[in-house]
């Protein structure tokens, strides 16, 4: 990846994604571009200088180099541009991780796992920690997992009281209805709160893409019935009427082998004792990665840190 100079001529640098190139290479005449997306990942709008003369207020933004187009659709367009019918919106929605147990969320653990959700891959790891410390996820298979409430919980809306009361519903135009979830397929799977595999999934360059709509009721819970601010949401202002929840399951490769831990992970010294375990193991094999959630309609996005864990 590189930057293209942007202080002279206007630059348009467009490429097909890897998936698009494969479809074009098929040569069967079915390739037809019907949709495209635009993004502004490289732009820092804080460079706008309202105190300068009109012609110079956006000068530093206009001179910012733009990213050279690249073909991996999972890494490009982190911040998508969107089109809204109502041009009078003063605020755009954000998506936030709900780590408040009172608000039906799941706190992060403390200690060496602070700020990251550990996902247990094996029975041995689970047995060494049970009962699970706060914030841990039982990532074994659905037939083994002992609980189904260890979920990642997300709220979205206008995170400011300047945009309206928390008791108000978010406008339909700003309410997300289609979520994409990206996770390295070698490490884990996204599952419903009860542990079932129901999301639409495709895999490209080892990254699985799940498409989950608000029609998929298994992933969503209605929060419109909450009557107090403390119970309502982690969003300060008007928020979407539904809370998005999903579970994480470790892949069979992580559950049955240490190969990927050796290739991509590391050994965490004293993991089990630091996490509160008192069983057979002290050190653990861990792989740190992220789960990315993106809204197709509104472009909101969040990266959720997770840590897959097993005994050595």
What DSSP state is assigned to residue 128? H
Q: Which of 150, 143, 131 is nearest to 245 (CA)?
A: 150
Do residues 170 and 223 share a domain? yes
Residues 4 and 64 both lie in one domain: yes
Whether 102 and 46 map to the same domain: the answer is no
Closest CA to 300 of 116, 75, 91, 78: 78
167, 289: one domain: yes
In this structure, are 166 and 63 located in the same domain?
no
Q: Is position 88 within any domain?
A: no
Same domain, 260 and 124: yes
DSSP state of 136: -
User: 290 and 265, same structural domain?
Assistant: yes
- Parent domain of 63: 1-81
Domain count, the chain: 2
pLDDT at 230: 63
Rounded CA gap, 76 and 42, in Å?
11
Query: 47 with 269: CB under 8 angstroms?
Result: no
> How far is the C-alpha of 3 from the C-alpha of 65, rounded, in Å?
6
Domain-embedded: residue 301 = yes
User: In a structure prediction context, what are the per-residue pLDDT tens digits for the chain, which is 312 residues long?
Assistant: 455 665 666 666 677 877 788 888 888 888 888 777 777 777 888 888 989 888 888 888 877 777 777 666 655 667 777 788 888 888 889 999 998 877 788 889 988 999 999 999 999 999 998 888 888 999 998 767 665 568 899 999 999 888 777 778 888 999 999 999 999 999 999 998 888 877 667 888 888 989 999 988 889 988 877 766 666 788 888 889 899 999 999 999 999 999 999 999 999 999 999 888 888 899 999 999 999 999 988 889 999 999 999 999
Last residue of a domain, one of 35, 53, 81: 81
**Considering the domain boundaries, does residue 29 fall inside one?**
yes
Query: 0.85 cut: is pTM over it?
Result: no
């Amino acid at each position: 990846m590189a930057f293209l100079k942007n202080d002279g001529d206007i630059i348009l640098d467009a490429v097909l994604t890897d998936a698009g190139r494969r479809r074009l290479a098929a040569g069967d005449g079915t390739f037809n571009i019907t949709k495209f997306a635009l993004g502004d990942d490289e732009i820092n709008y804080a460079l706008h200088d309202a105190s300068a003369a009109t012609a110079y207020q956006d000068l530093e933004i206009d001179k910012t180099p733009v990213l050279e187009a690249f073909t991996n659709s999972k890494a490009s367009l982190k911040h998508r541009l969107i089109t809204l019918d109502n041009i009078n919106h003063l605020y755009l929605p954000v998506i936030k991780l709900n780590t408040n147990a009172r608000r039906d969320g799941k706190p992060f653990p403390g200690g060496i796992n602070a700020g990251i959700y550990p996902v247990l891959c094996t029975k041995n790891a689970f047995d060494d920690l049970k009962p699970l410390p706060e914030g841990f996820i039982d990532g074994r298979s659905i037939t083994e997992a002992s609980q189904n409430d260890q979920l990642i919980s997300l709220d979205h809306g206008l995170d400011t009281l300047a945009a309206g009361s928390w008791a108000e519903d978010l406008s339909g135009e700003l309410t997300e209805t289609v979520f994409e979830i990206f996770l390295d397929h070698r490490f884990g799977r996204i599952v419903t709160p009860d542990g079932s595999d129901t999301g639409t999934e495709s895999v490209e360059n080892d990254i699985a893409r799940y498409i989950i709509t608000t029609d998929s009721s298994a992933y969503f819970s209605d929060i419109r019935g909450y009557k107090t601010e403390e119970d309502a949401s982690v969003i300060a202002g008007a928020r979407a009427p539904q809370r998005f929840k999903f579970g994480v399951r470790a892949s069979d490769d992580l559950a049955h082998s240490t190969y990927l831990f050796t290739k991509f992970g590391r050994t965490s010294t004293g993991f089990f004792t630091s996490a509160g375990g008192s069983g057979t193991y002290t050190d653990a094999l861990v792989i740190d990665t992220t789960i990315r959630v993106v809204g197709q309609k509104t472009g909101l996005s969040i990266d959720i840190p997770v840590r897959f864990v097993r005994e050595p």
